Structure 1
């Protein structure tokens, strides 16, 4: 949990669920990878119970997987904002699922906000 200008912000990080199969074994020693369907709602609830006023998911699963996961979550386990990476989908605006926007990171060198 982070205090950002007096706002209690909870962060949840997600990785590509097939990381263990796609990277050298040393990269995932001691880690367990899941699809997040039970973990995300439980973490959202826990962060809210601890006082989080804003819950953000930072994901590196890719936009299609992120959208599918967000759509599957129960109403009390939905974060406020979802930041999606991995698939480099080019979306100028967030994609909304219910009340939650999914922002994609795109690919920074081609993003207008990062051009000099």
Structure 2
């Protein structure tokens, strides 16, 4: 049971019902996992739920899984440093140390492009 989070839970469920996906962010220990568990209750969602929750040592594994879902054209739109960092996580190209800021910015850009609402053709 989530105490004091009923409104947020209702909002998360409404977004899931509308879009089929949701991303929660916030500091460690704020209750993201508990909120997702409540929102993903099979009786409430009515469909399978896939969650990525890697341990701190495996954070790049979950990120790599997410990045592989981006469209190939999206990668070409990234600035060079961001593209290199994303390629390193996906084990493509020359392997070198990952620039954490470039990786965050590149991943954010890819997620934003992928989650952009579709526009209706005219």
Q: What TM-score results when the alignment is normalised by the length of structure 2?
A: 0.28
Compare the two structures and name the one with the higher helix fraction: 2
Compare the two structures and name the one with the higher strand fraction: 1
**Max Rg structure:** 2
Higher relative contact order (CA 8 A, sep 6+): 1
Q: What TM-score results when the alignment is normalised by the length of structure 1?
A: 0.29
